[in-house]
Amino acid sequence: MSRKYVIINADEVDSVDFSKVDETSADTVRFSLDGSQTFVKYIGEQPSFLSGKTEYTHSEMLTILATAEWSADEPPGE
């Protein structure tokens, strides 16, 4: 069974039950460059606290994360 990914607003992190997702904790999630969004991933049924949110596949999520909203297009050292 493949993973599913759901984007949430940064202020919704406090409502995430990290026992139901693969992310380790609120301190380890990845945020968009402006800090307004993050995401969680899981296998199986969508956790209830994510009900109604759009699910993305791994491939779709990689495409989203490659956009300027999530990734800087510059060398990490410069």
78 binds other proteins (CB under 8 A): yes
Task: With H, G, I as helix, E, B as strand and everything else as coil, classify residue 50.
Answer: helix
Residues 6 or more apart from 8 whose CB is under 8 A from it?
A: 16, 37, 38, 39, 40, 50, 53
CB of 26 to other proteins, least distance (A): 12
Residues 28 to 67 in contact with other proteins, rule: CB under 8 A: 28-31, 39, 41, 58-59, 61-63, 65-66
Residue with tokens 């050292």: 77
26 binds other proteins (CB under 8 A): no
Count residues near other proteins (CB under 8 A). Answer: 26
